[in-house]
Chain A
């Protein structure tokens, strides 16, 4: 391994090796990222920067390294989506209602990171309560995508909801970041920023201490620059946790093992329903290329059918708002969070604190959720959506009798301009058409950067796997990554700004 020109160019894997072999100290590495973050504030990727804490943690790591006691992520600077509660560090969920909330406890996933020696650079911007696909619903203003189209200075969205994490990884403001994915919130921004994003199987990472959106769908996962880095980060993020009743009691393997063993003999399913009318032809072309890459490496390509795919998004937009309306009932202006200064009685205190504290998209989803759960409508909406969910999960079970993984496009298009989809909620929702099925069925999905559009914007491909088979998903993703050899980088225009 040779040292890159700047420490911020390291992959997580290479930084780990460089720190362990004392080619660079954690402090030097951390200082480089702190400087990069300061120089990239125009991207608005962070809600809260924690440089002092980062340097303290880096020094502690260097002390451990000096004693030969390196842990798996010793001294490696990471960014954390502002949905993970971090003890003593403000955690906002991108919302005004939590804009002053300082958690007195640490989420299990982030505790796992600190126990492994990782360094916290800061908390990343996101769509409010993870509800959005462009990072434009954040109370803390939109995040800008480090990527711009060729010869254009128009700002583009980074996707969402984990837009700040994706922009930080793509803009080299951290080695890697955490995200959460309820309908595509890790994978869609990864695709739009030319980065790697993995949503693990539901139950693989503990949800404890992550601000809840839709509890039956939410799952934390890594956002990185390489597939190997995603494997490394997942190995630490994942755990079996008594504090989350849906955490599954399965031992966590070392996901890095076997990453390079190839796809010879692997059966890769191509679901015909993922070909949608009106999508740019570049998406289909890239998809066919991805299948060809895997075939050339010895995989067997099989056509499969997931007949209920088109119903996944509408089912999701019943289930997710329903769960959100219940989860967000806790914000009352009494125990924590924003409280109105203008209430004459207790009911008005609740109603005004919530109306002032939640943004437009969150209010809309709370009302949809309240409606579909209300007396007389439950069966027509919520119960029906839950049955559709069964049919969607069965589609996958059936497909996986014929193949080991599925290969699909990641998004229906590349990054789009700010404001392009904010007037019509449904057009925004359609961004998640290829990712949301996986959440409904609880399966793992990995997005890998695979190519560029004609005007030089990144596009991703998605690998979907069987429950708890992240190892095979990562192995197939590595094969796509190797063949795609995606080396394009955004021009660092934000540094001059």
Chain B
């Protein structure tokens, strides 16, 4: 399997990553090199093999549904590139 330029543009859009038009073809080639290399996984018979989703053999821990930390709005906003009164400021979304 390999990707074409159209697919590269589509996944860049999905990933919200601006990609200049002149970078599309080089990126396509880079991705195809990597995809050609991972293709060797197709040699392996995986019939009946379950996927490994966790190497930790324990049930996910549960905790009481209570507030453990709170009133940290100022700390949360401290790194915002643009903020007003504890609101994040972005370009206009609704016309």
Contacts and interface: CB of A to CB of B under 8 A. Distances in A.
Contacts of A393: 52, 55
Given A339-B82, A346-B91, A346-B93, 11 more contacts: A104-B78, A314-B39, A315-B38, A329-B16, A347-B16, A364-B31, A368-B35, A387-B50, A388-B46, A389-B51, A442-B56
A238 to B, nearest CB: 14
A245 to B, nearest CB: 6
B81 interface: yes
Nearest to A217: B55
B56 to A, nearest CB: 5
Given A339-B81, A350-B16, A370-B11, A385 B56 contact: no
A311 B79 contact: no
Nearest to B15: A370
Contact of B34 (A317, A338, A363, A383): A317
A363 B19 CA distance: 10
Nearest to A385: B41
Contact of B54 (A216, A314, A383): A216
Contacts of B16: 329, 332, 347, 350-351, 354
Contacts of B31: 364, 367-368, 371
Contacts of A242: 61, 63
User: Could you tell me the dominant secondary structure of chain A's interface residues?
Assistant: helix
Interface in B16-30: 16-19, 27, 30
User: Could you tell me the dominant secondary structure of chain B's interface residues?
Assistant: loop
Given A354-B17, A441-B55, A102 B78 contact: yes
A51 interface: no
B58 A248 contact: yes
B19 to A, nearest CB: 7
Contacts of A287: none
B67 interface: no
A371 to B, nearest CB: 5
A351 B52 contact: no
Interface string B45-74: 010011111111010110100000000100
Which of A363, A374, A393 neighbours the largest number of chain B CB atoms within 10 Å of its CB? A363
Given A334-B81, A383-B51, A387-B49, A343 B91 contact: yes
A246 B14 CA distance: 29
B15 to A, nearest CB: 4
Interface residues of A, number: 71
A374 B14 CA distance: 9
A358 interface: yes
A354 B37 contact: no
Contacts of B49: 387, 390-391
B37 A426 contact: yes
A72 interface: no
Nearest to A338: B81
Nearest to B40: A314
Given A355-B18, A371-B11, A386-B53, A335 B44 contact: no
Given A101-B79, A337-B79, A425-B30, A349 B90 contact: yes
A78 B1 CA distance: 47
Contacts of A102: 78-79
10 contacts: A102-B78, A248-B56, A333-B81, A335-B80, A339-B81, A345-B92, A358-B17, A364-B30, A367-B8, A440-B52
A333 B72 CA distance: 20
Given A335-B80, A425-B33, A390 B17 contact: no
Contacts of B88: 334-335
A347 B60 CA distance: 36
B79 A355 contact: no
A389 B52 CA distance: 6
B60 A245 contact: yes
A184 B90 CA distance: 39
A182 interface: no
Given A216-B55, A349-B91, A388-B44, A367 B76 contact: no
Given A343-B91, A367-B11, A334 B80 contact: yes
A124 B20 CA distance: 32
A389 B55 CA distance: 10
